[in-house]
Structure 1
């Protein structure tokens, strides 16, 4: 997914601005526990979200909904 990702490109208009990133990890499955080597193998769901400046979603007031997660 991130193979062609260019880490020099930032989603801000001004290069001195900070980028706010929401990062979440959800444990989906515990696959293996190796107690001798102290290795835990898991299956995780990673969520990384950032706000891209200039890409504000313009929704008319009449079209707004209270729970957008129903449509995602």
Structure 2
């Protein structure tokens, strides 16, 4: 499966979207979906099903998480 096929599969999913508990129930967050094997969908929780879906394969998503855990993005928002 390539990125286009994964985006199509994840965009059609209604269930399975979740967001970080740190969002405390607010809608200004990202939602994630892990229901397509080997892929992660990311969308804007404010838009829900109407949001564009970004897709990342396992390697891409794990690299982003490792960077976040290492503090590579800390203090970047101005």
TM (norm. structure 2) is: 0.24
Greater fraction of residues in helix:
2
Which structure has more relative contact order (CA 8 Å, sep 6+)? It is 1
TM-score by length of 1: 0.25
